[in-house]
Amino acid sequence: MQFYRRSILRLLCALAVFAGIGQAGSGQEAAMGESINVRALGAKGDGKADDTPAFEEAIRRAAAGQGAVFVPKGSYRLSKPLALENIGMRGPDPGAWVADTDALPVLIPQQRDAPCIVMKAGASLKGVSIRYDWEREPEAGPPAVLVTGIGAYLSQLKLMYPWDGIMADGENNIGRLNIADVFIVAPRNIGVRVTGTWDVPTVTNVEVWNLGPVPRALEKGIGFDLGKNDLIRMTDCFVFAMNIGFLLRDEIPGCKIRGGTWGVLTGCSTDYCSIGIEVRGENTVSVGGGTYWNHHQSLIVDGERARVRVAGAELKSNGAPAVEVRRADHTVISGCSLLRPMEKFQFPAVHLTGGRVTLTGCHLQSTTEGIVIERRIASALAQGNTIETAAGKAIINRAAPPAKVQVSGNLEIVFQPPPPDPNPAPK
C-alpha cells in the first residue's frame, strides 16, 4: 500500500512540475509571439467597409510595445497609407507560393496619390497581398510599398496591378533592405526600385510579371530600377514582358540620391522583354549565370566608367545584337552563350562601338555576323570563342589607331540549319 501511495505522490508531483513548466512556457510564448489582430479592433475584412481605423489602432498598439500586427485572411479596404516603424505586420503563413494561389489576406488601397504601406526604419511586412482595382487604365500612380528607412524586411508578398511595386524614396538611406519571395503582377511603371542603400541590400526570388490582365506594349516599364547601392545582392530574380528587365543608372528622375550600383546579379533572368540588362553611367556589376531572352539587346553597356563582368549566362536577342557595348571602363564576358538567331533581322551577335572589351570562351551564333568591332573602340580582345555564322563573317574589325584589337584562337563555323524532319508530326 505504501508503495502505491509513494507512486501516486511521485506522479502528482511530476504532473505539477510539468503543469508549471507548461504554464510558464505558454506565458513566455504569448509574450514573445503576441500579435494584435485587426479583426479584434473592428476590421471587417469584407472588401466593403473602410478598415483603416482598425489598422491604425493596431499599429498604434504595436508601436507601444504590445506585439506585431496580425491580418487574418480577408479583403480590407484602406483609405489612407499605413506607416510601419520598428514593428511588423503579417498575415498567416500562406502555405503555398504566393503567385499560384490566393492564400493571402488582401489590402485594397483606395488612395491614388499615396502609397498603401510606408516602410520606415525597422519595419517588416510579410504574408499579405496588395491589390489595386483601377476604374480605368492609369496614367500615373503611387507605389504599393514605399521604403524610407533602414532595415526594412519584405517577404511573401503579392502585389497586384500597381503603378509601381516596391520603391525606395530616393532621399534616405535604406541600407540593409531585404526583399524576398515577392510576386508582382502587371506593374504599370516599375516593379522594384532600390537606391540609397549604403549597406548590403538583398533581393531574392522576386518576380515581376507583366502582360496581364492588361496587355501592354514593351515600350514601357522597368522590372528592377537600380541606383546608388553598395554591394546589392540579387539572386533568382525574374522579369517578364517589361521594356527593361534590369536597369542600372546613377541618375534616377525624381530621386535626390545619385550614384552608381556596386553589386551582383546571380541566377537572374528575363523573358519577352525589350532589353535584358542595361548599364548606364558609373556602375560596377557582376552577372553570374541566368538566361536573358529578349526582343532587342540582352546586354547594353553605356557608361565611361562602367565596369561589367558576365560569366556563364545565356544572352539571346531577336531584333538587335545580343551584346552591345557603347562605352565602358571595361566589359568582360566569359563562358557565355551569345545568340542572335532570327533570320529576318540584320544584326551581329556582338556589336562593340566603344570602351574596352574582353570576350573569351564564349559560344556565338548569328544568322549574320558574329562580332563587329567599330572604329571608336578603345580595346578589344576576342579569344578562344566558337563563332557560328550563317550568312556573314565571323568577325568584322573596323577599329582604327590608336585602338588595340587582338583576335586570336577563335573557332569559326559556317552555321548550317538542321535539315527538315523527314517525318514531321501531323498538325
CATH code at 247?
Answer: 2.160.20.10
User: Residue 215: its pLDDT value, please?
Assistant: 66
On whether residue 25 sits in a domain, the answer given is no
Is residue 274 within 8 A of residue 239, CB to CB? The reply is no
On whether residue 67 sits in a domain, the answer given is no
Q: What angle do CA 255, 261, 264 make, to 5 degrees?
A: 140
On whether residue 125 sits in a domain, the answer given is yes
Is residue 251 within 8 A of residue 273, CB to CB? The reply is no
Condensed to tens digits (0 to 9), the pLDDT of residues 168-222 reads 999 999 999 999 999 999 999 999 999 999 999 999 999 999 977 666 667 889 9
Residue range(s) defining the domain that contains residue 126? 86-92+109-414
On whether residue 26 sits in a domain, the answer given is no
Assign 415 a pLDDT band (cuts: 50, 70, 90): low
Give the span between the Cα atoms of 355 and 343, in whole angstroms.
Answer: 29
On whether residue 321 sits in a domain, the answer given is yes
Q: Is 27 exposed, middle or buried (0-12, 13-18, 19+ CB in 10 A)?
A: exposed
User: Residue 416: its pLDDT value, please?
Assistant: 67
Helix or strand holding residue 264 (H, E): strand 261-266
What are the DSSP E strand ranges found in 54-201? 68-70, 75-78, 82-84, 88-90, 106-109, 117-119, 124-126, 129-131, 143-147, 153-160, 164-168, 178-185, 190-194
Condensed to tens digits (0 to 9), the pLDDT of residues 116-154 reads 999 999 999 999 999 999 999 899 999 999 999 999 999
Q: How many structural domains comprise the chain?
A: 1
On whether residue 7 sits in a domain, the answer given is no
Condensed to tens digits (0 to 9), the pLDDT of residues 318-367 reads 999 999 999 999 999 999 999 999 988 999 999 999 999 999 999 999 99
User: Residue 213: its pLDDT value, please?
Assistant: 66
Output the pTM of the full model. Answer: 0.89
Closest listed residue to residue 310, CA positions, set 296, 320, 324, 326? 324
Condensed to tens digits (0 to 9), the pLDDT of residues 18-71 reads 333 333 333 323 333 579 999 999 999 999 999 999 999 999 999 999 889 999
On whether residue 323 sits in a domain, the answer given is yes
On whether residue 382 sits in a domain, the answer given is yes
